[in-house]
Amino acid sequence: MVVATIVASESLGQGDITEAADRIAAAGAEVGARVELDPGKAADIFFAGDAAAVRAALQAMPGAIDVIVQPEEGRAKSLLVADMDSTMITIECIDELADYAGIKAQIAEVTERAMRGELDFAEALRARVALLAELDEARIDQCREERVRIMPGARELIRTMRARGAHTVLVSGGFTRFAEPVGAEIGFHKVVANVLGIEGGKLTGRVADPIVDSARKRHELEQAMAERGILPAHTMAVGDGANDIPMIEAAGLGVAYHAKEKARAAADAEIRHGDLSVLLHAQGLARGDWVTE
């Protein structure tokens, strides 16, 4: 049995659920039970049939509705590996740090191209970091305090999964000086990120090797699976850029979060409208089951 979870950014009416069921049937699937996870917000529709065809049919629904289609078995995940910038937090840290050096526009353009998959990630990262040479180290903490904001739904997602026994890993192509405090605040078990070179209280313009790139992100997923005996079907990866694609493709449920086109094309599911709490509904959890503190 396959389950389609539909989550509205605003209001989910009975008419929306009926339309979704009709679309599933029109895609050639046999519609089963309908369950309202959170009345007016999220619902499950179970079916037997072609998951890809159903996903395409449901994503064409009007309105701000996100859709996750996956096997019912294994929908509650035991491992989550997540990107940080523009996924677990609302900004790209290197772009905001560059603003303190007066070169945000220059660096943000390179970041955007790298996230779209138009540039080699490691080379683009080294080039951007080189432009930050001589920036005062104190600007890192200032930037984090003034500009880093946790993505809506992130705390609930990670804390709820932890409470249910899942292992959580934050793996970022950004920097430890941002990722470690963010990971601790949200509640991740493990944090992996790049290390900025700092000497005499200033950035050196270098980043330590090896770079945390797309291959490292997939490695962290596979390593956690092997160490904990977790089957691929019980894993989830979420990110927004091209460097997230290998881990998205390797996970049982690979999710593109408000993502670039290449990441969207590679993912099993995408969140286009809502926040990260959609991934709790996708695991069959109603709001009353979430850990909010």
β-strands 202-207, 196-199: how paired? antiparallel
Q: Residue 27: which of 64, 67, 65, 63 has the closest Cα?
A: 67
Is 85 marked active-site? yes
Please name the residues in contact with 292: beta carbons below 8 A apart, sequence gap of 6 or more: 155, 156, 159
Q: Determine which one of 66, 83, 240, 275 is catalytic.
A: 83
Burial of 38 by CB count in 10 Å (0-12 exposed, 13-18 middle, 19+ buried)? middle
Q: d(Cα 268, Cα 79) in Å, to the nearest integer? A: 16
Q: d(Cα 107, Cα 207) in Å, to the nearest integer? A: 16
Q: Residue 273: which of 67, 3, 88, 16 has the closest Cα?
A: 67
Please name the residues in contact with 154: beta carbons below 8 A apart, sequence gap of 6 or more: 88, 89, 186, 276
Q: Determine which one of 16, 44, 66, 85 is catalytic.
A: 85
Is 244 marked active-site? no
Catalytic residues: 83, 85
